[in-house]
Structure 1
Amino acid sequence: MRRVESGERWSLFDPKVVPHLSDLHGDDFDAAYSRAEAEGHAMKQVAARDLYARMMKTLAETGNGWMNFKDACNRKSNQTLLPSNIVHSSNLCTEIVEVTSAGETAVCNLGSINLARHVGDAGFDFEGLAETARTAVKFLDAVVDINFYPTPESAASNKRWRPVGLGLMGLQDVFFQLRLPFDRPEARELSVRIQEEIYFQALSTSCELAQVHGPHPSFAETRAAEGVFQFDLWRTTPREPARWEALRDRIRLFGLRNSLVVAIAPTATIASIVGAFECIEPQISNLFKRETLSGEFLQVNRYLVRELKGLGLWTEDVRNRIKLAEGSIQSVAEIPQELKSIFRTIWEVPMRSLIDMAAERAPFIDQSQSLNLFIESPTIGKLSSMYMYAWKKGLKTSYYLRSRPATGIAKTTTTRVVEASKDVACSLENPETCEACQ
């Protein structure tokens, strides 16, 4: 990324010639890479910006080939105190970043808190969140002992590190219930406070488990053994430093039962089951069709429906115009501007805000977060700037790049749809009749 920024060239090596590079990061990688270049081991050299542009082109075309940052993953990991412990990769969904080796295959035990169930008349229920987090960590830790391991390497890794990944879902539900636009300062502050509480309670519970059962076998090899928390690695100060200092002292005394405790996984299936919005993302649309193995289901934003009913605006005409706008309410004149701000879709929320919010909560996530990025009409220029910004903000990983089809479909509720410049018969409720939908 530095060479992209400065317009330099990038060298491509045969991994058989420089096998040690995969086990290095940071300054050690830089030195070994430059030395290999100087010794003439490069098989080919290309402009770093050309290679980066190819990567962006692949992302735009497929949504895959996720940009993850090895230096950030290693520098900000509790497991990498010793130079021999290296994070080589993430899991598929990019929220799990753990050390691996020839003898250890990283494993993690995941769970997600439904934030939507932690909002009451008085606002967000942090006491309830703390209780849920503490209960969840105990359950997740027990999985380490009762789980089935398909290989000796996975069993060895999980028993030695005992990592768990407590995540969340329904952040958008919380903002809807509190009537907060997704990226308003109050919403961003609440997002960080929620993440800090989960991290604190997870570490506290892990320390209590260590006091009873002993710390995980590799505790001495972790940064926590030296009193270092994730937010220290980000050079961030928590809200209540006094309670963190007390916890730091307890961890030095008793250790931790788990080397890692927090990871925000994608929650597509379980969020649908409990009726919440996925993980940390804004809503895709106020009205959309979900396809599952059980069939197709029309889903409507119940929070918006409640607001519009209260204003007497949940009429057939308004519903039709929301459908025509593919679930957006921004063009419906009757709807107040306040609601338009609250009920924006992901296509109407700046990606800079989404990246900023991810960076703001990251000091309280000792693994990583499945961060989808969304751009309606991707170009190499837009993507280049977006991922460069994510790298500069210090993010460890990113997930899918989501974009919309080049030919959009404007739906009506009766019999017509405009697809590109062609009219075809269609019905939102009966997409099998539409050539475009098929």
Structure 2
Amino acid sequence: MSDTRSEKAGPVGAVLKVRKRDGREVDMDRSRIASAIEKAFHAELNLADGQPLGAEIDQDILAIIEQVYASASSKASKGCLSVEQIQDVVEIGLMRREHFHVARRYILYRTEHARLRAVRHVDADLDELAVENREATPRMRLQIEPGVYVAFSEARLQSFLDSIPESRLPGIETEEVIAEVIRGSFDGMTPGDIARALVLSARSRIERSLDYDRFAAALQLAIVYRQTLDVTQSDEHFETTYRDRFEHYVIEGVRCGRLSEQLRSFDLERIAAALLPERDKLFRYLGVQTIYDRYLLHVEGRRIETPQYFWMRVAMGLALREEEDQRTARAIEFYQLLSSFRFTSATPTLFNSGTRHPQLSSCYLTTVQDDLAHIFKSIGDNAMLSKWAGGLGNDWTSVRATGSLIKGTNGTSQGVIPFLKIVNDAAVAVNQGGKRKGAVCAYMEPWHLDFEEFLDLRKNTGDDRRRTHDMHTAAWIPDLFMQRLRDGGMWTMFSPDEASDLHDAYGQRFRERYEYYEELAAAGKMKQHRQLPAIELWRKLLTRTFETGHPWVTFKDPSNIRSPQDHAGVVHSSNLCTEILLNTSADETAVCNLGSVNLAAHVVDGRLDHALLQATISTAMRMLDNVIDINYYPTPEARNANQRHRPVGLGMMGYQDALHQLGIAVASDEAVEFADRSMEAISYFALLASTELAAERGHYESYRGSKWDRGLLPIDTIELLQQQRGDTIDVDRSETMDWQLVRDAVAAHGMRNSNCLAIAPTATISTIIGVTQSIEPTYKLLYAKSNLSGEFTQINEPLVNVLREHGLWDAQMLDDLKYHDGSLADIQRVPEPIRRLFATAFEIEPQWLIEAASRRQKWIDQGQSLNLYLAKPSGKAIDSMYKLAWQRGLKTTYYLRSLAATQVEKSTVDVNRHGIQPRWMKSASESSEIRIDRGPQPVPSACSIEDPDCEACQ
């Protein structure tokens, strides 16, 4: 290739330049580019200098050089490329021609020389400091690579921080941060150690000023950029590099087995141009840290994704369902929605979209048959479903009770409990691909003869072989039990092998069959049964719920009577987080695909912006529907159910943030009304979007005979529940939108999805985008959040802003908040309207949450993860709370949360300055026993749930 080396010009008449790192512009030299590529080939192939590479490689090198000149000749480059831009073109050219090992050699060469330049810069800094008689902290050295050390320079560290715009926020003291890093330093620290030390120092100061939240986020982003782009945000070519490196990321991800080969089918140039690097600034610190730890793809520990690459990867993965000529446009549409934080897909989708194993679904529900082979098949299915980040709900009501006859061996059964112990241990062993805790919830109906032992599964005492300390449990309660409880009646328990049809029965049919079996038992025609007062079983259930947080209280009849799919099966349980309500059977594992609208992002100018909400939901529903066709299904039963019924679960998060923006206290009639109207709008636009998808793609397979097909919307099914129950469902049924339009659309096109709506906990995705989770009230205004990424101080930003407006935010207020455990209730210098607006979860009566939930439930075809809070639990309070939930027609509830024994760290608080006992101390001392209607029932003073976030959820 000697002729190549002798030429300095490109195409005829072109005058092309190279911009050197020192700013000089020189003529582009083909021979230097060719020489660098040839050296990479010789090094990789272990050839001597000058040894021929072969005609095919020579042609590839010539083609790559022509691509460099074409890039330089483009309008965007204006005849001049930087050295880094030329190297990017060469890297991508090598990868496109599948010279992956040579490309790696070329990348390592670039990295090595970048480090050498860094060393030279450090030496230059030290020389300048010596001239100015300033010291460069000679006691410490940085190890920039194994065995290579340079002197640590405080001035260089200060220069780096000064290059970050967030360092100039008014609350930031960079000198303090640097001083803390130096105090904790040691000889031989790496640049990575310094970067992490900076982040830790900044995040420890978040409670002092929220400016440190932005600053810590920027520092963490700097770590991401160094790993992925090898530049800092202060680089003048940062945004160009951000976009130019995207194709490199895709090629590298495919080569390393992290990304699907199908991502290369997109117009990557157009995709890269659509990236918005400035949206990285939308993340708060905890969001950046969370995606860095668990969501950004990595190769051997090095992150290969920036936050915007992450969003685009998810968007591209979800667009693979689209027609080929529309994929790129749809991917950009999905990306715009995700990266703006208006909607976020659930964690499994974020983990796996665009990868080689696109298991994108969130929840799986199974029914375990009364058969040994099927029991162990179900346990194996749990493991496979959990491996790919699915949360599990298992219905165990069909399995025969302890003491039942085993016909094949003529022995007696040990019942359900020993199998649940195995399920528990399997969930621990298979921890969702090493990314988060595996989690499963077992459901059982209270007529099962093993139900009392089921209630004891989470106890810390008793035979540990019959305890499941890591598995969740839930009671699947029929209306008849609640009515017997209300009327002071008796309750009879059976073994499923003698009363098998109770499992599939609900409503009036359940009552008829249950009373029939009671008659048989009374006549001595049932081998196994037991009768006790309904209130005795209820008392034990509530006591266990208070003690351990389990079982969760869920309701069988409203879940089935109001199900759109009552023609195609039975809902036997909910899922891990109690919001999914889908049919299950031996050949169908119910699957649900989740995502949540950020409600706070749709409050504009003091109102809920319906036009913006509709645009968001229309795109979101398309994304959720695409999941069904793209999804990797770990079991054939999961594929069968999802393809037939196509259920999705659109939910919400940021509800409490929206209330703050509107100036509405959560414990108010206005909040209940907003819950109603906001859910009505979400439901309206979601159902309409599903009909539009049906018009384009066809209705789901089992649509005929469904409630949709029969002209029944969720709002219409309240009346059906009231008829079946024989009791009034006291819920406001008003409408404010034109629902006839939706009814007409369903009649004309059908529905693309059997189920459309479910409010999940959003514990992690709400953290990523920095809003309150799901429909939750504010947990505390200041608290330490612990999850798999570590422990983080969280302070309520809207509160800080309001207190600043009133001149009340100062060091004393922070001290007061710590002492009062993140509550304003006893801080009298804060005006009462502000205290009411920012009342925390344990300061409001649970009926406000139940009333709001009941108004949402009328619009939802599935359920909602509804946590209930009691600062001073008593049997009477817990009893009335769950009875109210049932009376209002709720389908499910989730955790019962009482105040925890551990509170906000108070080591920096002068407790003697505060003259009153904080409420958390009063509640701990005053709730030493629980009473349920009659007689005392001693239990511990606080349940073990200390934080409102469930890492097994979203």
- TM-score scaled by structure 2? 0.43
Which residue of structure 1 lines up, in the alignment, with residue 420 of structure 2? none
Which residue of structure 2 lines up, in the alignment, with residue 12 of structure 1? 493
Which residue of structure 2 lines up, in the alignment, with residue 31 of structure 1? 512
Is it true that 1:354 corresponds to 2:836 in the alignment? no
Could you say if the C-alpha distance between residues 122 and 354 of structure 1 is closer, same or farther in structure 2, counting changes exceeding 3 Å?
closer
Is it true that 1:307 corresponds to 2:802 in the alignment? yes
Shift of 1:379: 2.2
Shift of 1:408: 6.5
Greater Cα offset, 406-415 or 336-345: 406-415
Letter in 1 for 2:491: W
Which residue of structure 1 lines up, in the alignment, with residue 335 of structure 2? none
Q: Which whole-Å deviations, capped at 9, do the CAs of 1:276-305 have from their partners, x for residues lacking one? A: 001001101110001122221111111110
Question: Which SS does the other structure have where 1:232 is aligned?
Answer: helix
Letter in 2 for 1:328: S
What does 1:195-344 align with in structure 2 at a 5 Å threshold?
A: 195-235=679-719, 236-240=733-737, 243-344=738-839
Shift of 1:414: 4.0
What does 1:332-411 align with in structure 2 at a 5 Å threshold?
A: 332-405=827-900, 411=906
Report if the CA contact (8 A) 1:370-1:397 is conserved.
yes
Report if the CA contact (8 A) 1:325-1:411 is conserved.
no
Cα distance in 1 for residues equivalent to 2:633 and 2:813: 54
Could you say if the C-alpha distance between residues 407 and 270 of structure 1 is closer, same or farther in structure 2, counting changes exceeding 3 Å?
closer
Shift of 1:388: 0.8
Q: Which whole-Å deviations, capped at 9, do the CAs of 1:373-431 have from their partners, x for residues lacking one? A: 1112322222111111111111000101111135777835247699979xxxxxxxxxx
1:194 to 654, 663, 678: 678
Could you say if the C-alpha distance between residues 305 and 234 of structure 1 is closer, same or farther in structure 2, counting changes exceeding 3 Å?
same
Question: Which SS does the other structure have where 1:395 is aligned?
Answer: coil
Cα distance in 2 for residues equivalent to 1:179 and 1:409: 27
Cα distance in 1 for residues equivalent to 2:823 and 2:659: 17
Could you say if the C-alpha distance between residues 409 and 178 of structure 1 is closer, same or farther in structure 2, counting changes exceeding 3 Å?
closer
Which residue of structure 1 lines up, in the alignment, with residue 562 of structure 2? 76
Cα distance in 2 for residues equivalent to 1:224 and 1:327: 46
Question: Which SS does the other structure have where 1:90 is aligned?
Answer: coil
Cα distance in 2 for residues equivalent to 1:248 and 1:237: 16
Cα distance in 2 for residues equivalent to 1:239 and 1:6: 37
Which residue of structure 2 lines up, in the alignment, with residue 140 of structure 1? 624
Is it true that 1:58 corresponds to 2:58 in the alignment? no
Q: Which whole-Å deviations, capped at 9, do the CAs of 1:16-73 have from their partners, x for residues lacking one? A: 1111110100111111000001011351111100000000001000112011110000
Question: Which SS does the other structure have where 1:210 is aligned?
Answer: helix
Cα distance in 2 for residues equivalent to 1:415 and 1:310: 26
Shift of 1:75: 0.8
More contact order relative to length (CA 8 Å, sep ≥ 6):
1
Q: Which runs of 5+ in 2 are unaligned?
A: 1-481, 720-732, 923-945, 947-954
Shift of 1:225: 0.2
What does 1:424-435 align with in structure 2 at a 5 Å threshold?
A: none
Report if the CA contact (8 A) 2:843-2:871 is conserved.
no
Q: Which whole-Å deviations, capped at 9, do the CAs of 1:243-281 have from their partners, x for residues lacking one? A: 311221221121110010000000111111111001001
- State the Cα RMSD in Å: 1.9
Cα distance in 2 for residues equivalent to 1:333 and 1:250: 55
Report if the CA contact (8 A) 2:758-2:862 is conserved.
yes
Cα distance in 1 for residues equivalent to 2:618 and 2:903: 46
Which residue of structure 2 lines up, in the alignment, with residue 149 of structure 1? 633
Report if the CA contact (8 A) 1:324-1:412 is conserved.
no
Which residue of structure 2 lines up, in the alignment, with residue 43 of structure 1? 529
Cα distance in 2 for residues equivalent to 1:293 and 1:87: 33
Which residue of structure 1 lines up, in the alignment, with residue 73 of structure 2? none
- TM-score scaled by structure 1? 0.92
Shift of 1:232: 0.7
Which residue of structure 1 lines up, in the alignment, with residue 411 of structure 2? none
Q: Which whole-Å deviations, capped at 9, do the CAs of 1:331-365 have from their partners, x for residues lacking one? A: 11111111011000011111011000000111111
Q: Which whole-Å deviations, capped at 9, do the CAs of 1:290-338 have from their partners, x for residues lacking one? A: 1122221111111110111111111211221111110111111111111
Identical pairs, percent: 41
Cα distance in 2 for residues equivalent to 1:405 and 1:382: 18
Question: Which SS does the other structure have where 2:809 is aligned?
Answer: coil
Which residue of structure 2 lines up, in the alignment, with residue 425 of structure 1? none
Report if the CA contact (8 A) 2:668-2:848 is conserved.
no
Which residue of structure 2 lines up, in the alignment, with residue 429 of structure 1? none
Question: Which SS does the other structure have where 1:189 is aligned?
Answer: helix
Question: Which SS does the other structure have where 1:86 is aligned?
Answer: coil
Cα distance in 1 for residues equivalent to 2:905 and 2:623: 47
Cα distance in 2 for residues equivalent to 1:221 and 1:150: 29
Could you say if the C-alpha distance between residues 110 and 20 of structure 1 is closer, same or farther in structure 2, counting changes exceeding 3 Å?
same
Question: Which SS does the other structure have where 1:154 is aligned?
Answer: helix
Cα distance in 2 for residues equivalent to 1:123 and 1:230: 25
Q: Which runs of 5+ in 1 are unaligned?
A: 422-436
What does 1:118-197 align with in structure 2 at a 5 Å threshold?
A: 118-197=602-681
Report if the CA contact (8 A) 2:783-2:904 is conserved.
no
Report if the CA contact (8 A) 1:96-1:368 is conserved.
yes
Cα distance in 2 for residues equivalent to 1:108 and 1:396: 17
Report if the CA contact (8 A) 1:372-1:400 is conserved.
yes
Could you say if the C-alpha distance between residues 122 and 284 of structure 1 is closer, same or farther in structure 2, counting changes exceeding 3 Å?
closer
Question: Which SS does the other structure have where 1:223 is aligned?
Answer: coil
Report if the CA contact (8 A) 1:323-1:412 is conserved.
no
Cα distance in 1 for residues equivalent to 2:667 and 2:900: 26
Question: Which SS does the other structure have where 2:824 is aligned?
Answer: coil
Cα distance in 2 for residues equivalent to 1:155 and 1:408: 45
Question: Which SS does the other structure have where 1:68 is aligned?
Answer: strand
Which residue of structure 2 lines up, in the alignment, with residue 428 of structure 1? none
Cα distance in 1 for residues equivalent to 2:903 and 2:800: 25
Question: Which SS does the other structure have where 1:29 is aligned?
Answer: helix
Could you say if the C-alpha distance between residues 11 and 291 of structure 1 is closer, same or farther in structure 2, counting changes exceeding 3 Å?
same
Report if the CA contact (8 A) 1:320-1:412 is conserved.
no
